[in-house]
Amino acid sequence: MYKAKVLRITLVNAGKIVYEYDVLNKKILNRSEALSLVELEKTYKKYREKFLKIEVNPKSLDKILFIADTHFGHKNIIKYSARPFIDVITMNEHIKNKWNEMISNEDIVYIIGDFARRDFKKYVNLLNGKKIFIQGNHDPPEIGVKQLELQLNNYKFILSHYPTNLNSHNAWLIHGHVHNNRLREYPFINSKKRTINVGVDLTKFYPVNMKWILDLIETKRDYLYLPSKII
């Protein structure tokens, strides 16, 4: 079963909202407030503050990180992946802040596809780190390679935007593309399939550090989302 968070409870009469209860802010909203984007952003903000966070000190981590499916500037991705933002500007700013919180300019970040649909260089310049791009289906065609291979701590990793079949059963696949739409098949970590989905919809919009991946692999467990507390 999936764990769900209740954001609002709605009272409806004749198909119309009468009242809503904002569970996170503990506030009753009248119809006008319930339909207000300003009030919705207050709900989303509380949700992001309470649930979209991890307990970690970036200084304790290594210098290799992964991220996928940021979709900077892509308005429709908010609805497609049920992201807790009222507009693309808020989404862009939130992902940028999480990125720069975790990544310094000395770090290497592998971007596993679908970085930005347009204004590519603008978003690149806002973000820390030495960036290595893997080609995604929403990226400009000249950006990135289709696949890379890494060998770290006796583990072999294949980096591909798409969750393709691996040629070697000894390898782990780090991918994106499927967002949070196929969670049973492609959760954050599937230890049986040896896949790691670093799409931001599964990582609380954080880039994922290699140390976390290695620690979590050693537990031999499946993780639906990136845990809030890293081992």
Q: What is the pLDDT of residue 231?
A: 59
E strand or H helix at 189, and its extent?
A: strand 189-190
Q: CATH 3.60.21.10 residue ranges in the chain?
A: 59-218
Is the pLDDT reported for residue 154 higher than 90? no
Is the pLDDT reported for residue 197 higher than 90? yes
Tokens of 1: 């079963």
**Exposed/middle/buried for residue 38 (C-beta within 10 Å: 0-12, 13-18, 19+):** exposed
Q: Give the amino acid at 38.
A: V
* Greatest CA separation for the chain: 62
Highest mean pLDDT: which range of 83-97, 131-145, 177-191: 83-97
First-residue to last-residue Cα distance in the chain? 23
**Does residue 20 or residue 138 have the better pLDDT?**
20
Is the pLDDT reported for residue 167 higher than 60? no
Cβ atoms of 115 and 123 within 8 Å: the answer is: yes
**Does residue 4 or residue 156 have the better pLDDT?**
156
Global pTM reads: 0.90
| Beta bridge partners of residue 173, listed in sequence order | 158, 195
Q: What is the pLDDT of residue 138?
A: 87
**Structure confidence at residue 152 as a pLDDT band (50, 70, 90):** confident
Class of domain 59-218: alpha beta
3-state SS, residue 119: coil
